[in-house]
Structure 1
Amino acid sequence: MKRLLDYVEEGDTVVVWRIDRLGRSLIDVLNTVNLLREQGVKVRSLSDGIDPETTSGRLMLGMLATLAEYERELIVERVNAGIAAAKQSGTRFGRPPVDPVVIAEKLAIARDARAKGRTAEQAARLVGWSRATLYRHQHAARARDDLAAEKV
């Protein structure tokens, strides 16, 4: 959209399939049409047949943009309802949990590699992690060890 707005000149005509393609919300569509009109650019919608140059075209533009925004809001509501229903039925979202035993094994391998002179980057790659992931797991392991030592 930014490239289009930078490209158009006075006297050009912007042709869209549907007028709601000019923005993500009613405000976006209306602002885009008004901006184009101020620059002397005409807007034509193929499927809607809307001509913002006329009074009735502007009325239709407002009504269609409002309906398009309503449709998008309905979709968001349905998606959110679907996510909530999936969570209630036990579906987990996000990364799968990692087995702490696997993490401990990988930390031991990385620790051994570091003791043999490998860099943190090399040790992390050896177990399939990034250096940041290695450091994060090392930090978490130290925190757990410190917490366990305090309880004793």
Structure 2
Amino acid sequence: MRLLGYTRVSTAAQDAQLQIDALVKMGVQQRDIFSDVTSGTKVAASRPAMSRLLEHAVEGDTVVVWRIDRLGRSLIDVLNTVKSLQQVGINVRSVSDGIDPSTKTGRMMLGMLATLAEYERELIVERVNAGITVAQAAGTRFGRPVSDPKIIAEKLEIARTARQAGKTATEAGQLVGWSRATLGSAARVGDSF
């Protein structure tokens, strides 16, 4: 079993040394620490050092982090990362949070995080729905813009003329900025396109 460390800071101006020192103190060798300098907006699996760590880690290894939030951009991302590691037999340990899913207390802490993540998801949905309601009340329209039948008729006429001149349906559609499928839909099924 190896201990593999992971650190993350958001900008190059920040220093990961505090995290590295804590990992070394826990027994992680300096050569086994993977460090990302990237914003928390990227999901864990898409970060370069995390990707290398995932390629390097094998069943039975333990990924050690300074705090559990270093593993993800949100509670949901943290839990998804922990779950994906556990599914391939890789353990996780957080130094300052005391989270170790191999213990009863650690599993309880993860359970509480899962509950908080679900709460976070629900809050996000509520905020999005509230934003949509406010925007609609202010006159914002959602979805595709309403098509002007006159413009559609003009584009169809251009496409018909092009087809009569020997152009393919794809070429005729491209003349008016449509795909072949859009041209077919606009012309109604059965029309001569």
Does TM, scored on the shorter chain, surpass 0.5? yes
Greater strand content:
2
Q: How far is the alpha carbon of 1:97 from its aligned partner?
A: 1.7
| Alignment correspondent of 1:70 | 119
Indicate whether 1:42 and 2:91 are aligned: yes
CA distance in 2, matches of 1:14, 1:56: 18
Quickly say closer, same or farther: Cα 1:10–1:120, change in 2 above 3 A: closer
Secondary structure class of the residue paired with 2:188: helix
CA distance in 2, matches of 1:62, 1:23: 10
CA distance in 2, matches of 1:54, 1:137: 62
Q: Deviations over 1:84-107 (max 9, x none)?
A: 222233211122222111111111
Equivalent runs, 1:104-115 vs 2, <5 Å? 104-115=153-164
Q: Deviations over 1:72-128 (max 9, x none)?
A: 211111111211222233211122222111111111111111111211111111111
Indicate whether 1:127 and 2:176 are aligned: yes
Quickly say closer, same or farther: Cα 1:48–1:92, change in 2 above 3 A: farther
CA distance in 2, matches of 1:69, 1:18: 18
Normalising by structure 2, what TM-score?
0.57
Indicate whether 1:84 and 2:137 are aligned: no
CA distance in 1, matches of 2:100, 2:120: 22
Q: How far is the alpha carbon of 1:23 from its aligned partner?
A: 3.6
CA distance in 2, matches of 1:70, 1:112: 58
Greater helix content:
1
Which structure: larger Rg? 1
2:149 corresponds, among 88, 92, 100, to: 100
Q: Which amino acid aligns with 1:65?
A: A
Percent sequence identity is: 59
Q: Say what the alpha-carbon RMSD is for the aligned residues.
A: 3.1
Ranges in structure 2 where 5+ consecutive residues have no aligned partner: 1-44, 46-50
Ranges in structure 1 where 5+ consecutive residues have no aligned partner: 143-152
Q: How far is the alpha carbon of 1:49 from its aligned partner?
A: 3.5
CA distance in 2, matches of 1:47, 1:79: 33
Q: Which amino acid aligns with 1:124?
A: G
Normalising by structure 1, what TM-score?
0.70
For the 8 Å contact 1:110–1:126, the answer to whether it is kept is yes
| Alignment correspondent of 2:18 | none
| Alignment correspondent of 2:34 | none
